[in-house]
Amino acid sequence: MIKKMKKINVILGLLLLITACDNNLEQFPPNIASSNSLTDFGGVLNGAYYYQLASVTPMAVMGDFRADNAHMTESPYTEFDQFTPNLVAMNNQFFGPFYSALYKSILSANNVIENSKDAIQVGEAKFVRALSYFKLVLVFGDVPVNLSPSPSPSDPSIFERQPVSSIYNEVIIPDLEAAIAALVPSPRVAGRASKYAAQGLLGKVYMHMGNFALAETNLAAVVNGATAAGIILKPSFTTIFGVANETNNTEVIFATKILSSVVDEYGFTEFWGWYGGLDTKSLAPLDADLDAAFTAMETADTGAKTDLRRAVTINAGKTASPKFPQTGGADHDWIELRFADVLLLYAEALNENGKSDEALVQLNKVHTRAGLTALTNAVLSTQALVRQAIYNERRLELAFEGHRWFDLVRTGTVNAEMGQTVDSKYHIFPIPLSEILATNGVITQNDGY
């Protein structure tokens, strides 16, 4: 098993003083000092970013191994490939650290939002808080909401799960709108939120809500302003991934920065190890269905061209993915949002809004970068055909980046793509048992688990 050590550029004092709690519910770690004695909340903001680290590998495993891109081969990890109550066996390794770290990120962000006088700091903190809640609702559905830097542990209501719709409308969307207003599009600083990171994430949020009109508006703002902000598709897909390509990467809108040497709350095999088949629990993780999807894309190409993404995504033995090379290992950043993702979401929103010709323009920016022949409305002559083409493109473009399962759920295509009927209760994941037990059941388990 590959163990990981990670480091983000966080003030040493912050790491020493933001301590682990006795249980995941005790989400009140001291943030450097009492908030009323602080004047610079930069360290607390760094803490909010730092806690995102433990969400990375769980999102990768849930996004690809739950779907049809990858699979586990050793019990009980094979439960990711099953749709039964037994997935709770993954509590300690994946769901617990994920849940705990995101609420600590939220708590740090709350402290900055409540107390900092720096508008940029507050904007970044609102982005991080929105990102944290977005991940939580994608994974668990209804979750508790805390917007205070010092919630009362004696108030059990703070643990009651709130509806996803309320979290979107009352927390995530307002936070992202505030971040858009506070932040600038450039210069972009690696690992820090920007205006277009917030606007791109807001567009994605609206896509998950099925609000294609507002999704189009926000995604269009990113696409139309991208060049001026230094955001462009890299000319070659081969130069997006890997440690050597992380500096000044024009395609990455926001990434969780990872440097080796400081341990976070997730202490097991990292995402690049799972994808690369470097853990005994899945030495050959590649799902043959993904290889077949590349073949189908190439077969359908009118110019009989090879998809240049295949060699980056699938190794020669067709067993694993070298997308994040073993070289550099634990220094790989986790890409939360890149320009190709935004372009494909924008294409999808345009198509859903009855603008299929415009959608093809955006889709072809990604499609032709992969070395494939431009798609035309002569072949994709209906909205449904364009929709499926976009879905197909997202799968190949974003494979092994933690998106696939959440895209299947968002688009209502789980059953069709997985080739089986999956009860919708298994579209989300089990709440960590530690949270349920620590609150005497105030936090409830998801149906089916």
Instruction: For residue 377, tell me if it sits in a domain.
Output: no
CB 158 within 8 A of CB 27: no
pLDDT of 36: 53
Report yes or no on 386 lying in a domain: no
In a domain, 379, yes or no: no
Is residue 121 one of the residues assigned to a domain?
yes
Whether 240 contacts 251, CB under 8 Å: yes
Residue 163 falls within a domain, yes or no? yes
- Residue 193 and residue 202: Cα distance in Å, rounded? 13
DSSP classification of residue 317: T
pLDDT of amino acid 263: 80
DSSP assignment of 225-260 equals: HTGGGT----S-GGGSSSGGG-TT-TTEEEEE--BT
pLDDT in tens, the chain (449 residues): 443 333 333 322 333 223 333 333 333 344 444 455 567 899 999 999 999 999 999 999 999 999 999 999 999 999 999 999 999 999 999 999 999 999 999 999 999 999 999 999 999 999 999 999 999 999 999 999 999 999 887 888 889 999 999 999 999 999 999 999 999 998 889 999 999 999 999 999 999 999 999 999 999 999 999 999 999 999 999 999 999 999 999 999 999 999 887 788 899 999 999 999 999 999 999 999 999 999 999 999 999 999 999 999 999 999 999 999 988 778 999 999 999 999 999 999 999 999 999 999 999 999 999 999 999 999 999 999 999 999 999 999 999 999 999 999 999 999 999 999 999 999 999 999 999 999 989 999 999 99
CATH number of the domain enclosing 98: 1.25.40.390
Token couple for 175: 């936070």
Number of domains in the chain: 1
Residues 376, 108 contacting (CB under 8 angstroms): no
Evaluate whether 308 touches 238 at the Cβ level (below 8 Å): yes
The pLDDT, as a whole number, for residue 154 is 82
Structure tokens at 371: 């070395």
Q: What is the DSSP letter of 338?
A: E
For residue 434, the 8-state DSSP code is H
Confirm whether 101 is domain-assigned.
yes
- How far is residue 72's CA from residue 85's CA, in Å, rounded to a whole number? 17
Which is it for the CA torsion 384, 385, 388, 389, positive or negative? Answer: negative
Identity of residue 155 = D
Tell me whether residue 409 is in a domain: no
SS3 439: coil
> 199-217 burial by CB neighbour count: b if 16+ within 10 A, else e?
bbbbbbbbbbbebbebbbe
Q: Is residue 363 in some structural domain?
A: no
Asked if residues 444 and 429 have their Cβ atoms less than 8 Å apart, the reply is no
pLDDT of residue 245: 94
* Residue numbers of the domain that contains 125: 12-292+329-338+416-438
Q: 302 near 213, Cβ under 8 Å?
A: no
pTM of the entire structure? 0.92
Q: How far apart are CA 384 and CA 382, in angstroms?
A: 5
d(CA 235, CA 288): 28
